[in-house]
Amino acid sequence: TDAAGPYSFAWDTTTRADGATSIVAKAYDSSGNVGTSTINVTVGNNVVADTTAPVVNITNPVNGATISGNVNIGASATDNVAIANVSLYVDGVLKATGNGSVTYTWNARKEASGTHTIQAIARDTAGNSTTKTVQVVK
């Protein structure tokens, strides 16, 4: 009961089962008249934490490929909730970032002969991450 506005109410939802419920506010005047307002809400205290890491794949090139010239690098990721981003690295240097999938054209002509590492790192909105690595030879 509150005799002067503004009116507020603190509600500990942990005392209520998850699901739909109604909140009813009633106002009484000095003549005994009643005004009522109802809102429907959904209680959701049992939030399940996302502990599942995303799945990431490098779609091109394949591990062990021999490369030359311009190399089209592609990666994609999926997650049980939502992907935040997918990042592509070549020899440890960030080259591109995207949402769900990412592509980058790498000019391998500028690179030294030998083995090079391509990594795709996918992060979901809960902060879980997965790394996929392939090595290619120039």
Residues 96 and 30 in one domain: no
pTM: 0.68
Query: Stretch 88-106: mean pLDDT, rounded?
Result: 97
Residues 29 and 67 in one domain: no
- Mean pLDDT for the chain overall: 93
Residues 36 and 64 in one domain: no
Query: Stretch 22-43: mean pLDDT, rounded?
Result: 91
Mark which of 27, 47, 67 sits at the end of a domain: 47
Q: In whole angstroms, what is the distance from residue 66 CA to residue 61 CA?
A: 9
**Domain tally for the chain?**
2
List phi, psi (to 5°) of 90: -120, 120
DSSP class of residue 66 equals B
Per-residue pLDDT tens for 42-68? Answer: 998 877 889 999 999 999 999 999 999
Give the pLDDT confidence score for residue 44 in this predicted structure.
Answer: 84
Residues 35 and 62 in one domain: no
CATH number at residue 74: 2.60.40.10
DSSP class of residue 54 equals P
**How many degrees, rounded to 5, is the angle at CA 57 between CA 53 and CA 59?**
165
- One-letter amino acid at 121 equals I
Let me know: does 118 contact 134? Beta carbons within 8 Å.
yes
Residues 131 and 71 in one domain: yes
List phi, psi (to 5°) of 4: -135, 145
Residues 80 and 26 in one domain: no
Q: Which domain, by its residues, includes 4?
A: 1-47
Residues 130 and 107 in one domain: yes
Give the pLDDT confidence score for residue 1 in this predicted structure.
Answer: 60
Residues 78 and 96 in one domain: yes
Give the pLDDT confidence score for residue 61 in this predicted structure.
Answer: 98
- Over 80: is that where the pLDDT of 3 sits? no
Per-residue pLDDT tens for 103-126? Answer: 999 999 999 999 999 999 999 999
Residues 2 and 26 in one domain: yes
Q: In the sheet that 129-137 helps form, which strands lie side by side, from edge to edge?
A: 93-98, 83-90, 115-124, 129-137
Residues 38 and 67 in one domain: no
Give the pLDDT confidence score for residue 54 in this predicted structure.
Answer: 98
Give the pLDDT confidence score for residue 17 in this predicted structure.
Answer: 85
Query: Stretch 25-38: mean pLDDT, rounded?
Result: 90
Of all helices (H) and strands (E), which one includes residue 116?
strand 115-124
Residues 91 and 127 in one domain: yes
Please name the residues in contact with 96: beta carbons below 8 A apart, sequence gap of 6 or more: 73, 87, 88, 102, 103, 104
